[in-house]
Amino acid sequence: MRIFPVKGGVHLEYRKELTSEKPIVALPMPKILLVPVQQHMGAPAITMVQPGETVAKGQVLARGQGLVSAPVHAPTSGKVVDIERITAPHPSGLPQITIILEPDGADRWVELPAPINDPFAATPAEIRERVAVSGIVGLGGASFPSAVKLGLGSRGKLDILLVNGAECEPYLTCDDRVMREHSEEVVDGARIMAHALGTANIIIAIEGNKPVAQAAMQRAASQFTNVAVVTVPVQYPMGAERHLTLAVTGRETPARKLTADVGVVVHNVATARAVHHAVRFGRPLLSRVVTVSGGAIAEAKNIDVPLGTKVADLLEFCGGLKRPPHRIISGGPMMGQPLPSLEVPVVKGTSGILALLSEETNEAPSQPCIRCGSCVNVCPCGLVPVEMASFVRNEKLDDAARIGLMDCVSCGGCSYICPSHIPLVHYFNYAKGRLNALDRDRRKRELVKTMVEARGVRLEKQAQARRDAAAAAAAKNDANRANP
């Protein structure tokens, strides 16, 4: 199959060998689970349990609300100790509503929805519904509710389901291990998703540095004529949705459009596996595979972790930290986010926990720009990071947006390559956040204006009604006086 070239990108030191040969091990059930009600993009789920309540494994703890949302289930049976606001696994360190669950050790299941024995005879709506109630979100890291993405088929013609096994972030090997150990589940999940989407073809794209996973997937896919496994070049950020689509199909996604607009829907391999579990066995999403790695970790591992496990418990399972880490990151080293503390839970979007030593990071004081143009060469989105950053530095956010700030995917390639260590992507993340905040302000101002106008109209109506009543009363008085 032909692979199309993708402009830019960087070649990183992958350091995947730390965990790539470590089979997935299950984490013994921790003593306490912290289950946030928001582990996905969209509206937070609404709590359905009370403190003190006993819950069974797989029971709904919080249900989704609105169009873009996902429910949250109990990862094991136990008692809800409390529901309170505690620190989220988010760089802000702000609190969010979290259900604190004390496992009882029985691991007693709730009555699950009936398995869909022949998913290919089921309607796409049935599959979507099952995926929605199972709380499945994109496990690649973005945590977008998968059922919403499976509904894209109704928007227009889709022809390819692209299963993303690129895993282009250094250190992370969770998708690699899932593909090696559960290739049949991934292929089955992908076929079910393709059925729900109405796409004829399935392409599983894997970066060239994972030959074993590729062979396993090839074996699992060989009996299905519409499933192809392709190798994509080892080039960061190949796993970004738009870039993978471009590399595999040659179709470029227009700015501010979705890959679905060019007929392609991208789902992660681990998401496909979760769909397989939900449809074939009725099991909701209760755990995920997490890579725990980095130079400061005593024993790096790939672990099947119940959602809500504290990062501290996860590190303890890996023998703790052998040296003080410079950074503790959730996700990969390029796009991951620093964790505010170790007392935060693993959530649906946590693909890795990395404890990095200072020699593993690329941090240094920032120097003046030498105009080398490296950032322009590596930008996979065809932007000019140096110019955008200088606009942002001078608070000219509109100008930065004009030259494509909102098309930046925050891959961090420019920050990585910059010989002057200018925190380019940090500028862009700040500017995107600030522009969104300004947009929220603008919407609020518009709302306030409509409210003020509505109030004016109402007051005028009331005044008119009073005048009418006064006139009527006066007319009545006159009439009474005329014929007493």
Partner 1 sequence: MLLAIGSLTAMGAALGTVLGVAARYLAVESDPLEQEILSLLPGSNCAQCGFVGCAGAAAALAAGEATVTLCPPGGKGVAEKLAKKLGVQADLSHSEDKGPMVAFINEDSCIGCLRCIKDCSTDAIVGANKQMHTVVSEVCHGCGKCFKVCPTEAIEMRPIPVTIETWHWQKPGAHAAH
Residues 61, 37: Cα–Cα separation, whole Å: 8
By CB under 8 A, the residues from 224 to 253 that bind partner 1 are none
* Region of 106-114, 263-271, 307-315, 389-397 interacting with partner 1 (CB under 8 A): 389-397
Measured from the CB atom, the residue of 99 and 217 that comes closer to partner 1 is: 99
At 465, list the tokens: 């009604």
Beta bridge partners of 305: 288
**Amino acid found at 372:** C
Which among 484, 6, 480 has a CA at the least distance from the CA of 243? 6
By CB atoms closer than 10 A (0-12, 13-18, 19+), residue 260 is buried
**Residue from 17, 84, 441, 460 in contact with partner 1 (CB under 8 A):** 441
- Least distance from C-beta 86 to partner 1, angstroms? 12
Contact between 452 and partner 1 per CB under 8 A = yes
What is the number of other CB atoms lying within 10 angstroms of the CB of residue 85?
11
Residues 135, 426: Cα–Cα separation, whole Å: 32
Contact between 436 and partner 1 per CB under 8 A = yes
* Region of 67-75, 169-177, 225-233, 388-396 interacting with partner 1 (CB under 8 A): 388-396
- Least distance from C-beta 317 to partner 1, angstroms? 27
Residues 244, 252: Cα–Cα separation, whole Å: 10
Residues 80, 82: Cα–Cα separation, whole Å: 6
Q: Are 106 and 95 in contact (CB under 8 A)?
A: no
Q: What is the dihedral of CA 331, 333, 338, 344, to 10 degrees?
A: 30
**Residue from 65, 201, 366, 377 in contact with partner 1 (CB under 8 A):** 366
Q: Are 300 and 292 in contact (CB under 8 A)?
A: yes
CA angle 89, 94, 99 (to 5 degrees): 65
The DSSP bridge pattern shows strands 352-356 and 287-293 to be parallel
Contact between 106 and partner 1 per CB under 8 A = no
- Identify the H or E element spanning 162: strand 160-165
**Residue from 38, 143, 183, 235 in contact with partner 1 (CB under 8 A):** 38
* Region of 50-58, 159-167, 281-289, 428-436 interacting with partner 1 (CB under 8 A): 428-436
Contact between 451 and partner 1 per CB under 8 A = yes
Measured from the CB atom, the residue of 105 and 433 that comes closer to partner 1 is: 433
Contact between 439 and partner 1 per CB under 8 A = no
Contact between 406 and partner 1 per CB under 8 A = no
Tell which phi-psi region holds residue 458, choosing left (phi > 0), alpha (psi between -120 and 50) or beta. alpha
* Region of 165-173, 187-195, 438-446, 472-480 interacting with partner 1 (CB under 8 A): 438-446
Measured from the CB atom, the residue of 358 and 367 that comes closer to partner 1 is: 367
236: helix, coil or strand? Answer: strand
**Residue from 447, 463, 473, 475 in contact with partner 1 (CB under 8 A):** 447
Contact between 218 and partner 1 per CB under 8 A = no
**Residue from 226, 367, 462, 477 in contact with partner 1 (CB under 8 A):** 367
- Identify the H or E element spanning 463: helix 424-482
Contact between 460 and partner 1 per CB under 8 A = no
Measured from the CB atom, the residue of 42 and 151 that comes closer to partner 1 is: 42
Residues that bind partner 1 (CB under 8 A): 38, 88, 90-92, 94, 96, 366-369, 389-390, 392-393, 420, 422-423, 426-427, 429-430, 432-434, 436-438, 440-441, 444-445, 447-449, 451-452, 454-455, 458
